[in-house]
């Protein structure tokens, strides 16, 4: 029988890693993900978890140790935040290219415009093209489940890819929520031990990460691309099985809320989806046909599902919690991908984006309501006036919606 | 939206970081036991890794689901709990409090001594003083379970237990028996409840 | 065709300097008051004080200054956070820690902590 605990996202990730029986953990402190490693170090010190705990001298070392541990056949776990993600950047491509299915927990944090520590997705979003599997959790419970699920997906022999298991810094990582923790036997049933086909072993020498010639580069890259092509199927299988074993109810790729008869939807990833749900509830009460769509994975991006299921809406409004300065739509990242996914449809919804939750500001219910007005108008006319709206700055009447938090 | 009972807890950085969090968790867990919707969390912007910095920990209790989950400041705390009495000199601890609020303070001093340092005391309807440090008999220094971590067992082994016990005396939002049920130091909660001095203002 | 050029209306309390560059404070930075962190304060015994300036050197917030007229050390209540470093470093034992609430003066009350 599952027991329910009151965990923050950090603790949920740590106990998820414990349930997944990780064997090597590498740490280096940075807010806000530190809590994960603090909990894990306690578990290791108390003898509750039999794992090697390595303290790296920086994120680059951390990622390298994780790569090595995974190459030697251990289930490796690490994590970082914000500028730490950026510092470990060099190792991401070798980890994904070498096909080491280790996991990197992320509690995201803004990259510094001098010294910010709030939640913003830009840190991991800038590492999104390296071949990692990547997805955001909405609640501590989903953090716990994703930790186990991502290992299973990444370690599938058709995939063998590392994973970024992301959660919003502070909002999810620090605010506790209820987490029903399954029995260890259930997790063991779902997640078999990790087997690398050719682990580093002194008795059976292998060479990992050799130097290759330029004409072999594309051949290596296409393998990574092939693994990503396999992912949607594997994800569907693994999520379905997880739901059966643990009694949960996760959609594999797209989490939809009140979308059956929706005219427009909010499209966003991560913890703010929780507020979006409340906003949708309020809007429905007023008779506005709003809905919410949340991708559970950003890599692989659920393009097929979006093309299949989001074409029926009249307008889609992405809520961007990351920046893409000078990008095609001049705002965030999600709108690019959503628009591209919809391009081949005959009838395309109007897509616009709202920059909100940058630098750790709270995306309030008010912001959703104001944005809903923009989207309702777009749904009626079928056109958008702007690609990007900056919550609180550029829609008339928005001044004062935002206040200084500290 | 249903009314939300907001509690703000003031503690000092590093030294009381964990105890402050425990106080908020005790309140939330106790109310949760009574079937309420709760929330307990730290103020992220206070940077709790600086020794002695005034920190805010929060708890919210409501009969309905709390929609302002991520709006991380309690703007209208009806109850303020202070873990270190010197904070009243440094902070406007009653910030945002609606008239008729309650102040619970961990102090050896008398009520008059405390009130001297609260210029906006007319907001208060009651003040509760309790010497939680000597009831708990443990120093408030414990670095286990830092920011973002959550204790699974042993919430409220230090001064947070008697303080929340004392707070039970002046509110219906959470009950003494539920706090006793979730606290590690059950005796401390009861003693805090008994030894608390309530002054009506 | 949607337009990109947008004139932002930035609320006054959110107008920050370009690149968050803060001009150098001449004497003090009002945004970084730490006097409200204090639980104990250092109390000086001028009889014992030899004005060796150890406290001036060791104070992380420059809260001890020598008043050259009176030749006495002066303490800054607005920024002293009560870290006790000066008390530990004083070679003449002229400084003692006393509870802050014993003193009615030196109140630095903020609405929001720094």
**pLDDT at res. B38:** 93
DSSP assignment of B93-161: TTTTPPTTEEEEEE-SS-HHHHHTT-TTGGGEEEEEEE-HHHHH-S-S---SS-TT---SS--S-STHH
pLDDT tens track for A264-274:
999 999 999 99
**pLDDT at res. B146:** 67
Beta bridge partners of B60: B6, B39
Q: Is pLDDT at A233 greater than 80 in this prediction?
A: yes
**pLDDT at res. B145:** 57
Q: How far is CA C65 from CA A221, C32, C33, C69, C92, in A?
A: 65, 19, 17, 12, 17
CB atoms within 10 A of CB B176: 17
Residue with tokens 């935040």: A81
Q: Is pLDDT at B29 greater than 60 in this prediction?
A: yes
Tell me which architecture the domain covering A3-246 has in CATH. 3-Layer(aba) Sandwich (3.40)
Is-contact C49 C55, C-beta < 8 A?
no
pLDDT tens track for A66-123:
999 999 999 999 999 999 999 999 999 999 999 999 999 999 999 987 788 889 999 9
What integer is the mean pLDDT of A227-251? 95
Q: Name every chain C residue with its beta carbon within 8 A of the beta carbon of B56.
A: 113
Q: Which of A281, A283, A274, A272 is nearest to A362 (CA)?
A: A272
A406, closest residue in chain C (CA to CA)? C112
Hey, of A115, A399, A400, A405, which one would you mutate to test binding to chain C, going by the most C CBs within 10 A of its CB? A399
Q: Which of A126, A383, A378 is nearest to A265 (CA)?
A: A378
Find the CB nearest A404 among C8, C14, C20.
C14
Q: Name every chain A residue with its beta carbon within 8 A of the beta carbon of B42.
A: 174
Report d(CA A314, CA A259) in Å as an integer.
Answer: 12
Report d(CA A163, CA A102) in Å as an integer.
Answer: 7
pLDDT band at B141 (very low <50, low <70, confident <90, very high): low
Tell me which residues of chain A, numbers 336 to 355, contact chain C at a CB-CB cutoff of 8 Å: 352
DSSP-derived 3-state class of residue B193: helix
**What is the residue-averaged pLDDT of chain A?**
91
Q: Is pLDDT at C99 greater than 60 in this prediction?
A: yes
pLDDT tens track for B74-103:
889 999 999 999 999 999 999 999 999 999
Is-cis flag, bond preceding B124, omega within 30?
no
Q: Is pLDDT at A157 greater than 80 in this prediction?
A: yes
Find the CB nearest C101 among B13, B89, B119.
B89
**What is the residue-averaged pLDDT of chain B?**
89
Is B92 within 8 Å of C109 when comparing Cβ atoms? yes
**pLDDT at res. A281:** 95
pLDDT band at A403 (very low <50, low <70, confident <90, very high): very low
Tokens of C90: 């004083």
Most confident range, picked from A349-353, A366-370, A398-402: A349-353
pLDDT tens track for A120-139:
999 999 999 999 999 999 99
B83, closest residue in chain C (CA to CA)? C39
A402, closest residue in chain B (CA to CA)? B71
**Angle formed at CA A35 by CA B185 and CA A124, multiple of 5 degrees:** 160
Q: Is pLDDT at A404 greater than 50 in this prediction?
A: no
Q: Give the A:C interface size as CB pairs under 8 Å.
A: 38
pLDDT band at C4 (very low <50, low <70, confident <90, very high): low
Q: Is pLDDT at A1 greater than 60 in this prediction?
A: no
Is C8 within 8 Å of A113 when comparing Cβ atoms? no
Domains of chain B: 4-200 (3.40.920.10)
Residues 6+ apart with CB under 8 A from A238: A149, A152, A153, A156
pLDDT tens track for C61-97:
889 999 999 999 999 999 999 999 999 999 999 999 9
What integer is the mean pLDDT of A18-37? 93
CB atoms within 10 A of CB A185: 8
Q: Give the B:C interface size as CB pairs under 8 Å.
A: 58
Residues 6+ apart with CB under 8 A from B123: B94, B97, B98, B99, B100, B101
**pLDDT at res. A387:** 87
pLDDT tens track for C12-41:
777 778 887 877 767 777 778 899 999 999
**pLDDT at res. B106:** 94
Find the CB nearest C101 among B52, B91, B109.
B109
Residue A61 forms contact with B (CB below 8 Å): no
Considering all CA atoms of chain C, what is the largest pairwise distance in Å, rounded to the nearest integer?
80
**pLDDT at res. B152:** 58
Is A174 within 8 Å of B42 when comparing Cβ atoms? yes
Q: Is pLDDT at C3 greater than 80 in this prediction?
A: no
ipTM: 0.90
**pLDDT at res. A59:** 95
DSSP-derived 3-state class of residue A198: coil
Report d(CA B81, CA B74) in Å as an integer.
Answer: 13
Say what angle helices A9-19 and A140-154 make with each other, to 10 degrees.
40
**pLDDT at res. C108:** 85
Find the CB nearest A405 among B69, B73, B144.
B73
Query: Using the 8-state DSSP alphabet, how is residue A386 labeled?
Result: B
pLDDT tens track for A174-220:
998 999 999 999 999 999 999 888 999 999 999 998 888 999 889 99
pLDDT tens track for C43-60:
999 999 999 999 999 999
Residue C19 forms contact with B (CB below 8 Å): no
Q: Can you give the residue ranges of every domain in chain A?
A: 3-246, 254-390
Is A114 within 8 Å of C11 when comparing Cβ atoms? no
DSSP assignment of A64-80: HHHHHHHHTT--EEEEE
**For the domain bounded by A254-390, which CATH number is listed?**
3.40.50.920
Is A7 within 8 Å of B146 when comparing Cβ atoms? no
Is-contact A320 A334, C-beta < 8 A?
yes
């Amino acid at each position: 029988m599952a027991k329910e605990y009151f965990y923050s996202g950090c603790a949920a990730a740590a106990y998820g890693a414990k349930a997944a029986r990780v064997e090597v953990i590498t740490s280096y402190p940075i807010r806000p993900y530190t809590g994960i490693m603090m909990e894990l170090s306690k578990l290791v010190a108390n003898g509750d978890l039999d794992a090697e705990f390595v303290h790296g001298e920086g994120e680059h070392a951390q990622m390298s140790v994780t790569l090595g541990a995974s190459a030697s056949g251990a289930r490796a776990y690490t994590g970082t935040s914000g500028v730490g993600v950026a510092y470990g950047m060099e190792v991401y491509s070798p980890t994904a290219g070498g096909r080491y299915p280790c996991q990197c927990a992320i509690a995201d944090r803004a990259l510094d415009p001098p010294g910010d520590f709030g939640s913003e997705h830009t840190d991991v979003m800038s590492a999104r093209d390296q071949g990692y599997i990547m997805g955001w959790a909405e609640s501590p419970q989903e953090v716990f489940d994703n930790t186990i699920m991502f290992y299973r997906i990444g370690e599938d022999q058709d995939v063998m890819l590392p994973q970024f298991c992301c959660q919003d810094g502070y909002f999810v990582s620090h605010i506790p929520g209820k987490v029903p923790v399954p029995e260890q036997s259930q997790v063991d049933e779902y997640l078999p031990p990790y087997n690398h086909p050719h682990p580093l072993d002194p008795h059976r020498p292998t060479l990992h990460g050799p130097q290759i010639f330029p004409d072999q580069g594309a051949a290596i890259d296409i393998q990574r691309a092939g693994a990503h092509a396999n992912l949607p199927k594997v994800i569907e299988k693994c999520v379905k099985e997880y739901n059966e074993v643990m009694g949960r109810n996760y959609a594999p790729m797209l989490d939809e809320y009140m979308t059956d008869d929706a005219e427009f939807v909010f499209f966003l990833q991560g913890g703010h989806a929780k507020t979006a749900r409340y906003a949708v509830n309020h809007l429905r009460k007023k008779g506005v046909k709003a809905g919410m769509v949340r991708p559970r994975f950003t890599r692989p991006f659920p393009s097929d599902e979006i093309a299949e299921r989001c074409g029926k809406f009249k307008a889609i409004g992405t809520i961007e919690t990351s920046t893409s300065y000078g990008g095609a739509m001049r705002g965030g990242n999600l709108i690019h991908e959503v628009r591209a996914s919809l391009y081949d449809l005959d009838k395309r919804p109007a897509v616009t984006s709202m920059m909100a939750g940058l630098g750790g500001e709270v995306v309030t219910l008010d912001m959703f309501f104001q944005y809903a007005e923009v989207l309702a108008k777009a749904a009626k006319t079928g056109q958008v006036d702007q690609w990007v709206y900056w919550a609180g700055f550029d829609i008339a009447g928005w001044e004062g919606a935002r206040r200084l938090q500290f | 939206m249903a009314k939300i009972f907001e509690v703000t807890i003031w503690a000092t950085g590093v030294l009381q970081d964990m105890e402050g969090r425990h106080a908020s968790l005790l309140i939330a867990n106790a109310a949760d036991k009574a079937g309420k919707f709760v929330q307990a969390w730290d103020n992220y912007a206070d940077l709790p890794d600086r020794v002695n910095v005034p920190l805010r920990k929060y708890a919210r209790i409501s009969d309905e689901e709390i929609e302002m989950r991520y709006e991380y400041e309690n703007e209208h705390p009806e109850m303020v709990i202070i873990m270190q009495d010197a904070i009243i000199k440094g902070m406007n601890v009653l910030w945002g409090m609606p008239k008729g609020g309650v102040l619970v303070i961990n102090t050896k001093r008398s009520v008059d001594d405390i009130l001297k340092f609260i210029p906006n005391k007319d907001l208060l309807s009651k003040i509760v003083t309790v010497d939680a440090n000597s009831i708990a008999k443990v120093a408030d220094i414990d670095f286990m379970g830092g920011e973002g971590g959550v204790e699974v067992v042993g919430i409220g082994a230090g001064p947070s237990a008697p303080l929340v016990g004392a707070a039970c005396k002046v509110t219906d939002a959470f009950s003494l028996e539920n706090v006793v049920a979730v606290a590690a130091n059950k005796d401390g909660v009861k003693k805090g409840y008994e030894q608390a001095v309530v002054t009506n203002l | 065709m949607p337009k990109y050029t947008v004139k932002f209306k930035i609320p006054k309390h959110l107008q920050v300097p370009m690149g968050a560059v803060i001009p150098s404070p001449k004497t003090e930075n009002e945004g970084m008051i730490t006097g409200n962190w204090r639980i104990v304060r250092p109390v000086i015994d001028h009889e014992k004080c030899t004005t060796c300036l150890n406290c001036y050197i060791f104070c992380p917030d420059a809260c001890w200054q020598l008043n050259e007229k009176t030749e006495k050390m002066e303490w800054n209540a607005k920024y002293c956070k009560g870290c006790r470093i000066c008390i530990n470093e004083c070679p003449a034992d002229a400084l003692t820690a006393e509870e802050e609430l014993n003193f009615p003066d030196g109140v630095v009350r903020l609405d929001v902590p720094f």
